[in-house]
Amino acid sequence: MERSRRDGSRFAVGLIDLDGFKPVNDVHGHATGDRVLIEAGRRLRQVSGPAVCLARLGGDEFGLIIDGNPPDADIRRRGQEFCDVLQAPYVLPDLTAQVSCRRSPVRISVIRAAPFRFGKPSTKNLDLRTGSGGSAV
């Protein structure tokens, strides 16, 4: 954010909420749910790249920051990649689970911090929603 204030560049902040995770956790237990979350995190890191800071926020939600003044097309492409990589079945030794980001939107907002100290950042919400096929729109 400081760099954005200094040079007027922008960054993106996003939220990924997994669909179908609660039944895995409730039916198969927290240990199995944890294994699915670990795999989801691994998959997200695999497609993130060096400009993306990714973190699990809690439950089945992941937050991300895309740095480096990303163009809208790059943000949309990354949103689609995140959805695509999460959709593949999670094959565990005792279970094959299916979670995705099909129903919940992947929300990514582009922010350009104000060049003055106490200003509000300007945001542009790209709100990449996923349809039944899990594609970003």
Annotated active-site residue in 7, 19, 34, 60? 60
Q: Let me know if 60 is a catalytic residue.
A: yes
Q: What DSSP line would sit under the chain, residue for residue?
A: -HHHHHH---EEEEEEE-BSHHHHHHHH-HHHHHHHHHHHHHHHHHHH-TTEEEEEEETTEEEEEE-S---HHHHHHHHHHHHHHHHS-EEETTEEE--BSSSS-BEEEEEE--SSTTPPPEEEE--B-B-TT--B-
Active site residues: 60
